[in-house]
Chain A
Amino acid sequence: MSAASDVWVIVEHAGGRPRKITYELLGLATTLAGPMKVHAVVAGGGAAAMAGDLAAHGAHVVHAAESPLLEPYTTDAHAQVVGALLADAAPGLVLMGSTAAGRDLAPRLAARLDAGIVTDCASVAVEDERVVATRPVMTRKAIARVAFGDGIRIAVVLPNIYPPAPAETGRSVEVQTVPVNLDPGSIRTRVVEISALKRETVPLTEADIIVSGGRGLKGPENFALLDKLAGVLGAAVGSSRPPVDSGWVPHDYEIGQTGKTVNPQLYIACGISGAPQHLAGMSGSRCIVAINKDPQAPIFGIATYGVVGDVFEILPLLTEEVRKLKGSSSDGGASRRLVPDGGDGGRPAAG
């Protein structure tokens, strides 16, 4: 990338507010743009109302596209509106989040715009006038360095890697209204229903703390121990593959090669041996705690703290100890319970 290029961020939002990934992208964009401008593209969701917040986190220009047809997200509507805007501006670098919507839209835009695209970026940097990204490949057995060529470049960045941009009030912002001329007939998908996963108040991919269970939990009923610990930590609950294959927890719990890739600050692996297929999804975590009774379990090879012990003994003690710690600090800590008391977390009944 020539030294002088504006950086564009495609904003992801929910409930009229930018999602966490957007702040992370704005932070990265601010670093990469240097003296140049950071643009934020908001399609739908009361776009103009978010301008102040986006400005506080680094956006100089907000492109606001408002239309009832832009909500909820559909590929066709967003590809048309965002695609036309990017085709017109031809920015040197566009940052998108590696989220359900980002992964859906980014390749479509790249194909439409004849742009370069790199997905699942763990880093994006300018080196010798080139934009270079790194990304895990081969189920995280290798890290690829990929350079963009000329033209529009789309980097789809993994969540939870870059810190969110800090907020600074009092920044000015230029809001540009994006004309939207969508033909309803051109939108060929319709969102019939969005049903929240009742257990997930923090999506796994965005969670700062994840408590995860494996075969060592021995049965679906014992995931309640994880729910309790997650409750006091404000954490999300995940699993390795065996509990999913055994039907103890739904597919959306799974972390690993055939499930989700997560990068939390803290990952607590309970009764997980650490098969390569699981490590592929979580070895990017900042701090890993492993609780396993087998001292030879491979998970200990990557754990920051390895607790050799019985999960059924350790988990209740750990929950209590964290509760005590949180109780002694100012906030109650237990305010972000994932599963309401008596809730089953969406799991099939035990037995």
Chain B
Amino acid sequence: MNIVVCVKRVPDTEVPIRIRGDGRGVEESGLNFVLNFYDEHGVEEALRTKERLGGSVTLVTAGPARAVEALRTGLAMGADAAIHIQDPALASLDHIGTARVLAAAIKAVPCDLVLCGKLSTDDNAAIVGPAVAEFLGLPQATAITKLELGDGKATAHREVEGAVEVLEVKLPAVITVERGINEPRYPSLPGIMRAKRTAITTRTLADLGISAPPPARVELLGLTPPPKRQAGRRLEGEPAAVVHDLVRALHEEAKLL
């Protein structure tokens, strides 16, 4: 089974961020960048599938030169090949535009399955996966917690409000993966060495047959820090008295009980 995995380099979520002076992004200096958490699960699922059924795992990313780090991490985990879409025009794309570009690159790779993280932890958009499916004309299953591959179809579990849904999806398909689907491996030392030597295919939009970048339909006006929450009232002392005060506060002040 040949699998393509979409990946993205994102800031480590453990590290505090500083919003840029112009409000249009975050200061990159001092930030640690990693392979998007959910994409790690995508790469892992692809590798496990390959180990079971054979085939190959190809990574694809779209972004500036430094975006290659996500590919190197995925290669070090064990992926076979990587495609880096690099073009100055990428900067002007919205998520739907990015999906169009990724789909154009994936179209050139014969594959049975496309895996994506359910979202990237920087934008939190969760748009690219289903949009890639649409542009490829493939069925989709999103936020999958368990995936079983069969003959020409996959069985996928997804959590919906208050229930777990089991879907049967015809292959090829685009599947976006949720945390819980697997436990991603760490890159091995030989893997890291091999990743350094693996040639990465680069593609411009022109290479992909896209003459003009698709116009963005949404525009980021700016980032602001979230509203600061003030610490409220401390309730300390004898437990029964504290609980009594709390319930009275929730009932009378907050009017929530």
Contacts and interface: CB of A to CB of B under 8 A. Distances in A.
A266 B179 CA distance: 26
26 contacts: A19-B161, A104-B130, A104-B142, A107-B127, A114-B217, A118-B218, A139-B124, A142-B225, A143-B226, A145-B223, A146-B220, A149-B216, A188-B139, A189-B139, A189-B169, A191-B166, A193-B166, A194-B160, A197-B162, A202-B162, A288-B229, A302-B229, A318-B246, A322-B247, A325-B251, A326-B257
A341 to B, nearest CB: 20
A176 to B, nearest CB: 26
Q: Which of A136, A137, A196, A326 has the most CB of B within 10 A?
A: A137
Interface in B92-121: 94-96, 99-100, 121
A42 to B, nearest CB: 18
B217 A151 contact: yes
Given A137-B223, A143-B224, A206-B161, A189 B141 contact: yes
Contacts of B216: 149
Given A193-B165, A203-B162, A318-B247, A309 B218 contact: no
Interface stretch (A1-9, A46-54, A220-228, A250-258): A250-258
B224 A266 contact: no
Contacts of B242: 307, 309, 314
Interface stretch (B8-16, B51-59, B61-69, B198-206): B8-16
Nearest to B226: A143
B189 interface: no
Nearest to B216: A149
A104 B13 CA distance: 24
Contacts of A197: 159, 162-164
A110 B239 contact: no
A272 to B, nearest CB: 15
A190 B246 contact: no
Contacts of A206: 161
A196 B124 contact: no
Interface stretch (A33-41, A57-65, A95-103): A95-103
A100 B235 contact: no
Given A117-B95, A302-B229, A313 B239 contact: yes
Instruction: Tell me the dominant secondary structure on chain A's binding face.
Output: mixed
Can you list the 10 inter-chain pairs with the closest CB atoms, starting with the nearest?
A116-B217, A188-B139, A111-B134, A203-B161, A100-B160, A111-B131, A251-B180, A107-B130, A304-B232, A302-B229
B16 A145 contact: no
A308 interface: yes
B17 A107 contact: no
A198 to B, nearest CB: 10
Interface residues of B, number: 83
Given A146-B221, A188-B173, A265-B256, A137 B123 contact: yes
A289 interface: yes
Contacts of B232: 303-306
B222 interface: yes
A101 B219 contact: no
B161 A205 contact: yes
A190 B168 contact: yes
Nearest to B231: A301
A265 B30 CA distance: 37
B220 to A, nearest CB: 6
